[in-house]
Amino acid sequence: MTTWFITRHPGALEWAKTQGFSIDRHCPHLTDVNLYEDIAAGDSIIGSLPVHLAAIVCQRGAAYYNLSLDLPAHLRGEELSAEELTACNARLEPYLVTRISIA
């Protein structure tokens, strides 16, 4: 069982360290290779994934923890420091994402 942190943001990595999270593997992006070949049932995936990728993570039996923020409009699109993430109430929230078919 591997804990992955999927982020391209240095501030998010630093924030995770300040929170004491144990991260086994860090990737800046979730690619088809690590999604389909490396991520396995029982793994934990941390990040802010697009919903279709979060659904695949969950379908493969991994747990998905979204890095959620209360981000004010003036900070959108900005690189945030660990301190700014904390000020924006950064937190990990577990989600179970399931794709449904519409007939």
**Choice among 15-19, 32-36, 50-54 with the minimum mean pLDDT:** 32-36
Domain for residue 102, yes or no? no
pLDDT tens-digit series, residues 38-61? 999 999 999 999 999 999 999 999
Domain for residue 20, yes or no? yes
Confidence of residue 31 (pLDDT cuts 50, 70, 90): confident
Confidence of residue 37 (pLDDT cuts 50, 70, 90): confident
pLDDT score at 33: 73
> What is the average per-residue pLDDT within 55-76?
95
Structural domain range at position 60: 3-95
Who wins on pLDDT, 49 or 36?
A: 49
Domain for residue 100, yes or no? no
What is the rounded CA–CA span in Å between residue 77 and residue 103? 37
Domain for residue 74, yes or no? yes
Domain for residue 72, yes or no? yes
Domain for residue 103, yes or no? no
What is the rounded CA–CA span in Å between residue 68 and residue 8? 15
pLDDT score at 100: 92
Q: What is the CA radius of gyration of the chain?
A: 14
Structural domain count, the chain: 1
Percent of the chain scoring above 90 in pLDDT: 83
Q: What predicted TM-score, i.e. pTM, was given to this entire model? A: 0.91
Domain for residue 30, yes or no? yes
For the chain, the farthest-separated pair of C-alpha atoms sits apart, in whole angstroms, at: 46
Q: What is the DSSP letter of 74?
A: G
Domain for residue 91, yes or no? yes
